[in-house]
Amino acid sequence: MLQKEKRNVIVGQSGGPTAAINSSLAGVYRTARDRGYKKVYGMLHGVQGLMEGRYVDLSEHIQSGLDAELLKRTPSAYLGSCRYKLPEIHSNQELYDKIFKILNDLEIDCFIYIGGNDSMDTIKKLSDYAIITGSDIRFVGCPKTIDNDLALTDHTPGYGSAAKYIGTSVKEIIRDSWSLETSGGQIIVIEIMGRNAGWLTGAAALAKSEDCDGPDAIYLPELAFDVDKFVNNCRELLKKKASVVVAVSEGIRTADGKYVSDLEEETPQYVDAFGHKQLTGTARYLCNRLSNEIEGCKTRAIELSTLQRAASHCASRVDILEAYEVGGAAMKAADEGDSGKMVVIVRTSDDPYQASTEVKDVHKIANDERVVPESWITPDGTYVTSEFITYVRPLIQGDVAPIMVDGIPRHLYKPGFQELL
């Protein structure tokens, strides 16, 4: 039996960018070319851009080994991202027909999507439609999210670099807080990303070391948040030291389920296609409460925001290498016939750290969230345990030196590409 000639691959990026997502893109591209595929197309702004006929031939962008190395070190989504929710198949079959016509016209054999929970929902639906219609296109997900909340995988590429940046930044903020004394003391509240899962906020504990006491308290969204207890805890801490630093998740909620960021007067907020409200203002609200209730106390709200996912200058070598590997593993899985699957990372050892990859059914991953185990949070809910630190520390090891030009990191960029995006 003659083996079917390989045709083309298409790859897209979706959801929040990371410092490692482009390393996965480089892994997909290299493996596709090594396995004999003719062209590797890149969707511009994910599946949403694909439906508008927006894509590029990646061979025109990755033309040398230097380009590939620059791509690995380039933060954000090189191809552009999206937050687009595909409708249920039964409610809009015409849209699926449109997508598959585009893929067939491009002679696509393999569709790789790099993203998080919502992106895996896209892989699930497209692979289901391929089964319904008898299409032989393979759809495979490549994990990515700084939130680290994908099910069935030990961790996700992007998280290690974000955790490294958070641990580093919190340590630097603590150092800065020692510099100036104020008569009534000061409390700094650092707001860290994480809607329902506290993996990122817990990484603030990495600042604790021989030369740093670490943050004084850490609050994760896995447990109900009591504002009055928070204020009292800060008041007690301020009796023991002149400067208090606290890390909070943007997604902390009161016992009745209300986000702390919503406790102030309601203001219009952006809501994406998946119904996720943009969270901001948690640290600011808490600092206002502290200022009002602790006389003479200076407060400062710090929101790490985009910085924690765009800091390629502080990337983890483990993270960048694993991102590249899972990109290659996703392409390998699709090439060998898998569809409706996502690559997962399986940890086999903490010390020395060792991990491998497998593929799992995306139906068991999409639209699910993996949160921090409650046993990894201290009984009083104000810190993470040693088990959490043992879990995360291997993921932040090593550095990836930026390629510097005139004292500033160089990223992969092609003239005119931004206009395409």
Where are the chain's structural domains? 8-145+153-158+312-368+399-420, 161-310
Domains 8-145+153-158+312-368+399-420 and 161-310 share a fold: yes
Confidence class for position 1, pLDDT limits 50, 70, 90: very low
pLDDT of residue 192 exceeding 60, the answer is yes
pLDDT one-digit tens code per residue, 59-111: 999 999 999 999 999 999 999 999 999 999 999 999 999 999 999 999 999 99
Supply the pLDDT for residue 334: 98
Q: What is the pTM of this model?
A: 0.95
Place of tokens 């495979």: 140
> Which residue from 215, 224, 249, 45 is spatially nearest to 146, judged by alpha carbons?
249
Supply the pLDDT for residue 371: 97
Average pLDDT, the chain: 94
The catalytic position among 128, 147, 335, 338 is 147
CA dihedral (52, 128, 17, 146) in degrees, to 10, reads 170
Confidence class for position 418, pLDDT limits 50, 70, 90: confident
Confidence class for position 180, pLDDT limits 50, 70, 90: confident
> Which residue from 168, 315, 147, 152 is spatially nearest to 222, judged by alpha carbons?
147
Instruction: Enter the tokens of residue 15.
Output: 């959801």
pLDDT of residue 183 exceeding 90, the answer is no
pLDDT one-digit tens code per residue, 328-362: 999 999 999 999 999 999 999 999 999 999 999 99
pLDDT one-digit tens code per residue, 256-303: 999 999 987 655 565 555 555 667 899 999 999 999 999 999 999 999
Cα 141 to Cα 77, 103, 117, 200, 382: the distances in Å are 16, 17, 10, 22, 35
Q: Helices 317-335 and 21-34: crossing angle, nearest 10°?
A: 40
DSSP string, 48-68: HHHHTT-EEEGGGT--SHHHH
- How is domain 161-310 classified at the CATH fold level? Rossmann fold (3.40.50)
Supply the pLDDT for residue 417: 77
Confidence class for position 3, pLDDT limits 50, 70, 90: low
146-155, 200-209, 259-268: range with lowest mean pLDDT: 259-268
pLDDT of residue 143 exceeding 60, the answer is yes
pLDDT of residue 130 exceeding 70, the answer is yes
Instruction: Enter the tokens of residue 107.
Output: 């002679």
pLDDT one-digit tens code per residue, 374-411: 999 999 999 999 999 999 999 999 999 999 999 999 99
Whether residue 362 contacts residue 351, with contact meaning beta carbons closer than 8 Å, is answered with no
Supply the pLDDT for residue 272: 55
CA dihedral (161, 21, 312, 198) in degrees, to 10, reads -30
Domain 8-145+153-158+312-368+399-420 is in which class?
alpha beta
Active site residue 272: no
Q: Percentage of residues in the chain with pLDDT exceeding 70?
A: 96
Q: Phi and psi of 343, rounded to 5°?
A: -75, 135
